[in-house]
Amino acid sequence: MKPSNIAGFYVARLRARVVQELFAVAGIAVGVALLFASQVANTSLSGSVDQFTRAVVGRATLQLRARDPQGFPASMVGAVQRLPGVLRVAPVLEANAYLVGATGRQVVDLVGVDPSLGSLGGALARHVTSTQLAGRSALALSASVSRRIGTGWRRPVEVDVNGHSTEVAVGSVMGKAEIGGLVDSPFAIVPLRFEQRLVGDRESITRILVQPRPGREGRVRAELARLAAGRLNVLPATSDATIFHQAEGPASESTGLFSAVSALVGFLFAFNAMLLTVPQRRRLVSDLRLDGYTPAEIAIVLLCDALMLGVAGAIAGLLLGDWVSRHLLEASPGYLSLAFPVGSQRIVTWQCVVIAASGGLLAACVGVLNPLRAIFAGSLPPARERSSQSRLGILWVTVGGLVCLGVSTVILLAGVQTVQLAVLASVSLLAAMLLLLPALLGAIVFVVDRGQREVLDASRRLALIELQSSTVRVRSAAIAATGAVAVFGSVAIEGARHNLAAGLNRAAAEMALVTDLWITSAGTGSTLATAPFQANFDRMLSHLRGVRAVRVYRGSFLDIGDRRALVMAPPRTAIQPIPPHQIVQGNLVHASALLQGHGWATVSQALAGELHLHVGKRFMLPTSRPATFRLAAVTTNFGWSPGVIVVNADDYARAWGSSDPSAYQLELDPGVPPVAAQAEIRRALGPRSGLSVQTAAQRESIDRATQEQGLDRLRQIALLVLIAAVLAMATAMGAMIWQRRARLASMKVDGYDERELWRALLYESALLLGAGCSIGALFGLYGQLLLSRTLATVTGFPVVFSVAGASALTDVVLVAGVAFAIVAIPGYLAARAQPRLQCG
Amino acid sequence: MLELVDLVKHYRVGDGEPVRAVDGVSLTVGPGELVVLYGPSGSGKTTLLMLIAALLRPDRGSVRVAGREITALSKRDAARYRRQELGFVRQSLDLIPGVRTGDNAALKLFGAHGPREARRLVTPLLERLGLGERLGHRAEQLSMGERQRVMIARALSTGPSLVLADEPTGSLDTQRGREVLELLREVCREQRVATLLVTHDPRAAAYADRVHALCDGHLTEHEPGREFVPVPSAEAGACEPGSAS
């Protein structure tokens, strides 16, 4: 057969079944859209950090980086420039700053640069050259930041950094034309010397970007390491992107799992749609065989169908997915924006497009080639034989499901030790559900049938007869599987999210409620208290009315390998230096006592695993003045996925070589309301202090909001999956009912009236949708346990274990209920069909 | 048992002349009596059956079944009448695919009996129709003749006073067609059921108590016991039945 003949043949047949084909295209499109949108959301976060990092570093491949926010002397730039093999260098001073404009505020990465950065050729440096800002006390902003905080060219903006607040004029606003996708990144550029004034340290920088001469990178790296003398880090210039990738890992993996669930729902949607056209294709196969076409020729004809449907579905799906990712799926940076310049830009990679489109084509091929056995069989087996084959098939499928369930259970009981095992267990559980579904569905219908034996209701009997009919079993299973997969995903991941959120909230409360008031630098530094400030207010604060005690808290981020760990250094005299529920190994009372001594630390689980630590073991921290600690206990990560280290504030000052506080913890006299004391302290600090004063409750609530923002994406995808599942089930069920109109009409001849037939359809739909969703919920609860265990053991998140039974029930009622309500309409119309007799 | 009096049903198709589908038909079928009705395509047979089954309302005239006027029944009462008093054997073989013989035959009994009881009630009938060994088979596992017999069992399952049979032998070979007609006659006589059989099959006349022909909505009587040669179309002058030796 020539390709033109095949295409012509397809078009000729299309005219006769255009509605079914459009439905199939819609099914594929929804699947592709879900897959595409969730992938875009996933890649946008890491893509934005990657984009920003590359825009700053340009052609630099190495960097000398400070191990603390205070940085190192700018005089080292000359020493680096003189190293053999170095072509270009550029000093950079970075700090988290809080910009306050006329209508809003925004945390930004404040980047201080000098003209040398332009020579590295980074996209950012090309547009923010020294000519725009040189010698000026001004800053350059991206248009989106400018818009968000309500400022513009030459207008003032308040910059809060390191506890100092300064009013600065905006010297440049960069739009999309100048900096492309970076327009959505949260940054501000200032001349290096000006930023040094803003942070209150005229000599410091935080990194030196280095472009070695061609072929000299190894040599330069060695020279930089010698110069660093173990007090600075020598890293690839783009290490921020690598570190962010590690930090984003857990969120990315959970979104990835959800992407897989989305893809499966989409695939089932498409498969349901394709099942509608199976009878026609079976007839086509039969006709072509009778007309003497070879199996290969028939397969080509069907593959042509798949290609047409797949391509149309993939194109429509990519367009729909693009819209969904723009309008419905936000890429929320969440808590990671506290340590990385995460932008809100949408980044679409070619991999996203290829994976989503391939998924659509695959669904089309599997659906179209459903009658494959009929193509290649020597002769079709008689009906009775087919029936026994079908029973045997279900038996094997059930055995396969039980094996998969066993695999998941063994992994769960063994404690889910690695991410790979967690993925295997989740996939195995999903497979178990799909393989066991036909048997479970059959069992549910059987039990309901048994329970209805004595009920004299013709509608219910008709519904049960239809559900037990062997000819609609595949279609029924496909519809139930759609609901089951969606509810499984929603219950498992939403449940795990709920457990994680509960754990994070408890950790936030335990960290915030250790004192009455917190004073931190404004902006991101306030959330985790990681931005040290140069101030010496303890005496002034301790003399304020109602203040009982003032304690110094220190903290920052520390890069260890690919991890940007959070370092928390509560006061040495803190009664509760470790949040009580966060201990994984060790004794809380003993570890707390050790932390009040000298040279002890706790580290989080994943970090302890990576550094091969156990309680009591000595280890070295790569701080600016490397120091040795002993491990007092192993903790959860308190919600900071790369890991957490707790030392006391005095040990911190020794190891980091800085006595700057990053927070003051204030204890109030009994009976003094925190809000009143907060107002008093704000007055005492004055309007230009650049410090933030929070009550413990306010701090806890901000922590919660930040943590939950990071988990929003899962909730959004869960909602989309549920919507898609409702649509898929409703349309497939509706189509199945619609195709049955003639038979329903004929039942009127046997004395059934419209109401009885409609009730029968509703009962059948309710049973099928309810059973599918319930099976999904049951497996979803198992999945919740599995994912929660994974989060706790593999990534060390503070998880509170619970079974979200109420949430699962809500999902079942919601998905099955909405689909049922939609199906009621075609059901009503189908029940009204009039009988047509065959005679003259 | 069945009494049609001056039954009229006209249709209007578009702006054209009205189609006189049934035009003043009067007919009586007594208990245990089998009446065969011949007619070419478009002669009004479908309309007549739908009027008797209360699926259509006549423009004029009366349909009485067991003395009860059924033309004025509400939709619900009409459904109840079809389920309890009427048996309808169709050509279209409306069995539910994938469903076992017992359930397919007992379809009309489910409102009044539980599934086990319903199956128990139809089993003797199915055995009588030669399907005793096919009770557990699904519809698609039955031959065409067997399927037709399941439809007869369904039609007779409620003990109706009237059976309408629409081309019951249309899709059967000669031997199977003869068997079905014999069965229908025997069961109707045994159970004293009035039967109106609409067919093209010329052999059906041999089993009939009376034979009628329907042409252009008019009914004419034919001599019983003689094989009938129906004219296949309702073209002008083609409605008169011929006879064969």
Nearest chain B residue to A757 by CA distance is B79
Mean pLDDT, to the nearest integer, of B10-34? 84
Q: What angle do CA A13, A16, A18 make, to 5 degrees?
A: 95
Residue A404 has pLDDT above 80, yes or no: yes
Determine the pLDDT at residue A774. 93
Residues of chain B with Cβ-Cβ distance to A838 below 8 Å are 46, 90-92, 166-167, 170
Chain B nearest-CA residue for A741: B94
ipTM > 0.85 (yes/no): no
Which tokens hold the place of A334? 């969440």
Q: Which two tokens stand for residue A631?
A: 């491990």
Q: Which of A32-41, A185-194, A670-679, A709-718 has the lowest mean pLDDT?
A: A709-718
Q: Distance between CA atoms of A397 and B126, rounded to whole angstroms?
A: 36
Q: Is the model's pLDDT at B234 over the cut of 50?
A: no
> Is the pLDDT reported for residue A268 higher than 80?
no
Percent of chain A scoring above 90 in pLDDT: 22
Higher pLDDT: A392 or A300? It is A300
- Residues A797 and A503 sit within 8 Å (Cβ to Cβ): yes
Q: What is the mean pLDDT of residues A583-609?
A: 91
Binding-site residues on chain A for chain B (CB distance < 8 A):
383-384, 387, 449, 453-458, 461-462, 465-466, 468-473, 743, 746-756, 834-835, 837-840
% of chain A residues with pLDDT over 70:
89
Nearest to B92 among A465, A473, A838 (CB): A838
Residue A386: pLDDT over 70: no
Contact flag A752-B83 (C-beta cutoff 8 Å): yes
Q: Do A471 and B140 touch (CB under 8 A)?
A: yes
Question: Considering CB atoms only, which of B44, B81, B114 is closest to A454?
Answer: B114
The whole-angstrom separation of Cα A801 and Cα A472 is 40
Cα–Cα distance measured from residue A549 to residue A565, given in angstroms and rounded to the nearest whole number: 29
Is the pLDDT score of B237 beyond 60?
no
Contact A51, A241 (CB under 8 A): no
pLDDT of residue A345: 67
Residue B85 to chain A, least CA–CA distance (Å): 9
Residue A336 has pLDDT above 60, yes or no: yes
Which site among A380, A453, A749, A756 would you substitute to test the B interface, given the most B Cβ atoms closer than 10 Å to its Cβ? Answer: A749
The predicted model scores a pTM of: 0.73
Hey, what are A106's tokens? Answer: 């925004």
A473:B98 CB<8 A:
yes
Stretch A91-98: mean pLDDT, rounded?
88
Decide if A368 contacts A274 (C-beta within 8 A).
yes
Q: Which residues of B touch A754 (CB under 8 A)?
A: 75
Judge whether residue A131 has pLDDT over 50: no
- A378 by Cβ neighbours in 10 Å (0-12 / 13-18 / 19+) ranks as exposed
Contact flag A454-B43 (C-beta cutoff 8 Å): no
For residue A262, give the nearest of A27, A32, A508, A506 by alpha carbon.
A32
Q: Tens of pLDDT along A613-628?
A: 999 999 999 998 889 9
Most A-contacting residue of B65, B92, B119 (CB-CB within 10 A), to test interface: B92
Residue range A802-819: average pLDDT?
A: 87
Whole-number pLDDT of residue A257: 67
Residue-level pLDDT at A183? 78
pLDDT > 90: what percent of chain B?
A: 24
pLDDT tens digits, one per residue of A428-462: 998 899 899 989 998 999 999 888 777 778 888 88
Query: Which residue of chain B has the CA closest to A755?
Result: B76
Residues of B in contact with A839 (CB under 8 A): 45-46, 49, 91, 166-167, 198
Q: Please state the rounded mean pLDDT for residues A364-374.
A: 71
In terms of average pLDDT, the best of A76-85, A109-118, A253-262, B96-105 is A76-85
So what's the pLDDT on residue B92? 56
- So what's the pLDDT on residue B21? 83
List the single range of A45-54, A156-165, A678-687, B138-147 with lowest mean pLDDT.
A45-54
- Residue B79 has its nearest CB partner, among A462, A469, A748, at A748
Size of interface A-B (CB pairs under 8 A): 117
User: Which residues in chain B are contacts of A465 at CB distance < 8 A?
Assistant: 96, 99, 103, 107
- Candidates B42, B55, B80; nearest CB to A840: B42
Residue A840's pLDDT is what? 44
Residue range A670-697: average pLDDT?
87
Mutate to test the interface with B, among A389, A740, A750 (most CBs of B within 10 A): A750
User: Within A328-418, where are the H helices?
Assistant: 350-368, 372-376, 383-413
What are the tokens at B234? 């309702």
In chain A, what residues touch B50 (CB-CB under 8 Å)? Answer: 835, 837
Nearest by CB to residue A749, choosing from B53, B99, B137, is B53
CB contact under 8 A, B103 and A465: yes
Distance (Å) from the alpha carbon of A357 to chain B's nearest alpha carbon: 37
Supply the mean pLDDT for chain A.
83
Q: Which residues of B touch A279 (CB under 8 A)?
A: none
Is the model's pLDDT at A343 over the cut of 70? no
pLDDT of A276 above 70: no
pLDDT tens for each residue of A536-587:
777 888 888 888 999 999 998 898 888 889 999 999 988 888 988 889 899 9
Higher pLDDT, A40 or B243: A40
Q: How far is B227 from chain A (nearest CA, A)?
A: 20
Q: At what angle do helices A458-468 and A754-793 cross, to 10 degrees?
A: 50
Count how many Cα atoms sit within 13 Å of the Cα of residue A449 in the half-sphere of its side chain: 17
Q: Which residues of A touch B79 (CB under 8 A)?
A: 748, 751-753, 756
Q: Which regions of A183-240 does DSSP assign to beta strands (E)?
A: 187-191, 204-205, 207-212, 233-236
Q: Between residues B131 and B243, which one has the greater pLDDT?
A: B131
Q: Do B82 and A751 touch (CB under 8 A)?
A: yes
